[in-house]
Amino acid sequence: MTSMDIEMLPLEHPNDQISSDTNSRRTSNSIQNQHPIETIPNVLPKTVRTPSKKAKHLLHKPNSKKMVFMFVLFTCISMMISILIVCFSSPKPLGTTCAFILKSEAPSLIVSDSHPHSIAVADFNNDNLPDIVVPNSGTNSLGIFLRLDNTTFKDQITYSTGSGSLPYAVGVGDFNHDQHIDIAVANYGANNIGIFLGIGNGTFMSQITFSTGSSRPRWIAVGDMNNDKQLDIVVANYGTNDIGILFGDG
């Protein structure tokens, strides 16, 4: 006989099936107890009430404060427009204007043939009145005019700048820190810068010159160019088409 393999299948006991069903029911009841099914309440729409005639009247009643504000605003705007119309349409009276008026000049101070090319103003004699200095290229000199009062000056005091020097421009300042105003002059014909140190009473020492080569100095300005608290002299050189600076050392 041929041998056969017999597979043995286990049989479930009826009691085991009953026990399984019982456990399933218990589990289902436990789940329901933990998560109860929510019931949706029966929500009925609320009754919408129709406003009465009195309520409708109150709803459509205008805001009295807003109306008052609008009336005041309209009145102000109307008044402003009326004022502007009156201002621009009315003839304007002629008002007083501030005019810059120059009085007649003082009597001539310059002598004939002096040919002054520039001018500077400073208090040379410490009397709190501004005096005048001019370079006279026609007479190769500086002219000093000391002021007496508001309209008159003393006669010209001259200081020679050298033969053929043709002084063209002057600048003023305290070059040696002695509290007295000094004068610098550009001598176009002599190619140098001349310095006249002031004494403080309206008189000056003889000229000290500084050569500028062949530059033909035509204009000068005075200022502290290197912030060392010393006045320097800036020179416009007509002959060499450049600018030179003479630095002061006090």
Mean pLDDT of 152-175: 95
Q: Residue 250 has which token pair?
A: 């006090």
Q: Is residue 9 over pLDDT 50?
A: no
User: What superfamily does domain 120-246 belong to in CATH?
Assistant: TolB, C-terminal domain (2.120.10.30)
Q: Is residue 1 over pLDDT 50?
A: no
Q: Is residue 36 over pLDDT 70?
A: no
Q: Residue 247 has which token pair?
A: 């630095």
List, for residues 99-119, the tens digit of each pLDDT value: 667 666 665 666 678 999 899
Mean pLDDT of 47-65: 56
pLDDT at 92: 58
Q: Is residue 120 over pLDDT 50?
A: yes
Cβ contact 207:194 at 8 Å: yes
pLDDT at 104: 63
Q: Is residue 4 over pLDDT 80?
A: no
Where do the domains of the chain lie? 120-246
Q: Residue 132 has which token pair?
A: 């005048």
Residues 6+ apart with CB under 8 A from 157: 143, 144, 145, 146, 202, 203
Mean pLDDT of the chain: 79
Q: Using 50, 70 and 90 to split pLDDT, how confident is the model at 202?
A: very high
Cβ contact 198:177 at 8 Å: no
Cβ contact 208:190 at 8 Å: no
